[in-house]
Structure 1
């Protein structure tokens, strides 16, 4: 957990989607505890389909949890229309694909001003839009007012999306794969922008990603998610230099700078409607197939008992 006072947190959060035509329900988020401290950047890491985006949507109030509590500033989130509107002003979303986030018929000015108009913010709209664009690195901002998305580069479009979030002066940004669709040359610029926003404005961020290398470059803490649960979490330096969960070690082993041989995980993550008994990772776990778990006397527990998240790791071996 964060050592800073949490601005946004989840406690025992569960999101279950009912199955169709009698099929089993899918446990997309299955008992997650997560806290984001004021001015802190947390990376939420895992493979596609592990529940990261569903957790992000629940934290935004876009999905009401089946059970558990989302709290903002220490107060449980209310799901009334007026309360959610105020909440979403203070907690903003930045999506992966800037082209899909921007209306091609709207100018940059209209795209950034839209949030101000929805939330009925008073004051000088033109000045607020210019300030947000400048903070997002589009200078001079007036030069971009009348441009359309197709006239911008991918990096510039992502900066417009970020400006649209910043114009409401949020306390938290939830960024879902914010650089996945960008060229490598632009990725570093957007990551540096997020770090600068934290330093200059005190904005906290949850960065949802499948890329542990990105987490290393931007995050204070990292939470690794697998099949709906957090399996390892802690300060980014601790987790990424001394990973204790076999899943985290496997993710790290495929990074280009890794000194370890790539760990090949067999098969795909199980269907969240058919989560296996015991440790939900055990059917793909290299420590179980190699005999390490048997040597430690925990192989049977791996197959039959769900490990708790203790000391930042959910693994019978640790």
Structure 2
């Protein structure tokens, strides 16, 4: 298992959410300054029936990295995409950014299908920005902080609502928590702490005034002492700017502290989704239960999953989790009368609406019983 406990001083599932970390019913500003509740407005970004397949090597079967995903992200909403390494979450995120065209299905932004022509993608990436997990690797060591933040402005040839480049860079650095911004203009990455470097990366995304950011493990490489600061910054940006975010992580403690909604991914497909408090305090899918059980603060016994996730080129029949499922192994699925379905019937793809949903024969049988 690759799931770690909650980082640093972050709270774990089951504890009250930190101040300033609104739950899924909190009112958040929309992109034009309006307010609304995540789930009550039209999606900003949407994936429908998304499949991403990579050719197999040396005649092997193709790898189904993303194997049927529906996912909506609404203005001002923070969605955490969680799962083990290799489950397909980074490939899904890259496809939502337009970096990996889907094999089937489509991505829409603001109601319009994503256009993969070069000029259209350039315009799209101004509205949707990526924040990577390793700020050191994201920053050119030969570029000053000013040049690193200004790079996006120069690529797109625009300073947005600002009169000049310097004003736009200063505003982005200040919003990212580097104040006074002029103090950082001529510094180089090696002169900054890890937390400061990550703030520079965030400023480089903010300078283009995006509507959504995709943050791939945004605090994984940081010391525990600064992880909470970066997560608090992302929440502040959501509240001040109406910024939506997809946060890709294996860390359920992080998801608890920052997300309105969580989507749990296993072997290329979302297997459980819903409001973060509901999913992480009352998980329905055995895989979600196993991920949560390894947190230090979890109640009950740790669930030890057998084996590794199957090869995405050889996805098993039936429920894709059944070969590792503790519920099936314990006989509980047999007693519920769904063991054969677990082995032979593929659960339906969950829709992207954000409602509480689970792709599990046993969990559905329990809810109907």
TM-score (norm 2): 0.85
1:290 aligned partner:
330
Question: Are 1:105 and 2:138 counterparts?
Answer: no
Does the 8 Å contact 2:47/2:72 carry over to 1? yes
Alpha-carbon shift at residue 309 of structure 1 (Å): 4.3
User: Would you say the 8 A contact 1:13–1:32 is kept in 2?
Assistant: yes
Residue 47 of structure 1 aligns with which residue?
A: 84
User: 1:78 is matched with which residue?
Assistant: 115
TM superposition shift of 1:239? 0.5
How far apart, CA to CA, are the structure 2 residues paired with 1:309 and 1:164? Answer: 36
Counterpart-to-counterpart distance in 1, 2:301 and 2:226:
29
How far the C-alpha of 1:76 sits from its partner, in A, is: 0.6
**1:317 to 2:367 alignment:** no
Note the alpha carbon deviations across 1:63-110, whole angstroms, 9 max, x for none.
000010100001110000110000000000000100000000000000
Checking the alignment, whether the CA contact within 8 Å between 1:278 and 1:304 is kept in structure 2 is yes
Aligned: 1:204 with 2:249: no
Matched length = 318
Unpaired segments ≥5 residues, structure 1: none
Alpha-carbon separation, structure 1, partners of 2:133 and 2:42:
28
Determine the C-alpha separation between the residues in 1 that align with 2:357 and 2:113.
Answer: 24
Is residue 70–residue 349 contact of structure 2 (8 Å, CA) maintained in 1? no
**Matching of residue 15 in structure 1 with residue 52 in structure 2:** yes
Query: Gaps spanning 5+ residues in structure 2: where?
Result: 1-37, 351-355, 364-369
Note if contact 1:171-1:202 (Cα within 8 Å) is conserved in structure 2.
Answer: yes
1:93 to 121, 125, 130: 130
SS in 2 for 1:207: strand
Structure 1 residue 3 displacement after superposition:
3.4
Distance in 2 between residues matched to 1:286 and 1:4, nearest whole Å: 38
1:184 paired residue among 224, 232, 237: 224
Q: 1:231 aligns with which of 266, 271, 278?
A: 271
Counterpart position of 2:176: 136
CA contact (8 A) 1:2 1:35 kept: no
1:114 equivalent in structure 2: 151
Contact 2:69 2:349 in 1 (8 A): no
Listed one character per residue, the Cα deviations across residues 288-314 of structure 1 (whole Å, up to 9, x for unaligned) are 000000111111111111111465100
In structure 1, how many angstroms separate the alpha carbons of the residues matched to 2:157 and 2:59? 44
Q: Which one of 164, 168, 173 corresponds to residue 208 of structure 2?
A: 168
After TM superposition, give the deviation of residue 2 of structure 1 in Å. 3.2
Q: Secondary structure at the match of 1:231?
A: strand
Q: Do residues 257 (structure 1) and 297 (structure 2) align?
A: yes
CA distance in 1 between counterparts of 2:66 and 2:248 reads 14
Q: What is the TM-score of this pair, normalised by structure 1?
A: 0.99
Counterparts of 1:271 and 1:115, CA distance in 2: 38
